[in-house]
Structure 1
Amino acid sequence: MTRPSGSQRNKSERVCVGAVAGAYGVRGEVRLKSFCAEAEAIGSYGPLWSEDGTRSFEITLGAAVAQGFAARLSGVQSREQADALRGLRLFVDRARLPSLPDDEFYHADLIGLEVFDTGGTSLGRVKAVLNHGASDLLELVSPGRKGAVLLPFTQAIVPTVDLAAGRIIADPPEGLLE
Structure 2
Amino acid sequence: MSDTICVGTIAGAFGVHGEVRLKSFTADPEAIADYAPLTNEDGTRSFDLQITRAVKGGFAARLSGVRSKEEADALRGTGLYVPRDRLPALPDDEFYHTDLIGLAVYDTGGVELGRVKAVLNHGAADLLELQLPGGSKTVLLPFTRAVVPTVDLASGRIVADPPEGLLE
Q: How does 1:69-84 map to 2 (within 5 A)?
A: 69-84=59-74
Give the structure 2 partner of residue 20 of structure 1: 10
Give the structure 2 partner of residue 118 of structure 1: 108
Deviations 1:65-98 (A, max 9, x none): 0111000000000111001100101101101000
Give the structure 2 partner of residue 90 of structure 1: 80
Of the three residues 33, 36, 43, the one matched with 2:33 is: 43
1:22 deviation in Å?
Answer: 0.5
Partner SS, residue 164 of structure 2: coil
Q: In structure 2, give the amino acid aligned to 1:37.
A: A
Contact 2:132 2:139 in 1 (8 A): no
Give the structure 2 partner of residue 4 of structure 1: none
Q: Distance in 1 between matches of 2:56 and 2:110?
A: 44
Contact 2:18 2:69 in 1 (8 A): yes
Deviations 1:124-153 (A, max 9, x none): 000100000000000000232442110000
Q: In structure 2, give the amino acid aligned to 1:46.
A: A
Give the structure 2 partner of residue 177 of structure 1: 167
Aligned identity (percent) is 70
Q: In structure 1, give the amino acid aligned to 2:33.
A: G
Give yes or no for the alignment of 1:64 onto 2:54.
yes
Q: In structure 2, give the amino acid aligned to 1:83.
A: D
Q: Distance in 1 between matches of 2:45 and 2:106?
A: 39
Q: Which runs of 5+ in 2 are unaligned?
A: none
The 1:49/1:144 distance shift into structure 2, 3 A limit, reads same
Give yes or no for the alignment of 1:155 onto 2:145.
yes
Give yes or no for the alignment of 1:143 onto 2:133.
yes
TM-score (norm 1): 0.92
Contact 2:47 2:65 in 1 (8 A): yes
CA-based RMSD = 0.9
Q: Distance in 1 between matches of 2:132 and 2:37?
A: 37
1:62 deviation in Å?
Answer: 1.4
Contact 2:108 2:161 in 1 (8 A): yes
Contact 2:113 2:133 in 1 (8 A): no
Q: In structure 2, give the amino acid aligned to 1:125.
A: R
1:37 deviation in Å?
Answer: 1.5
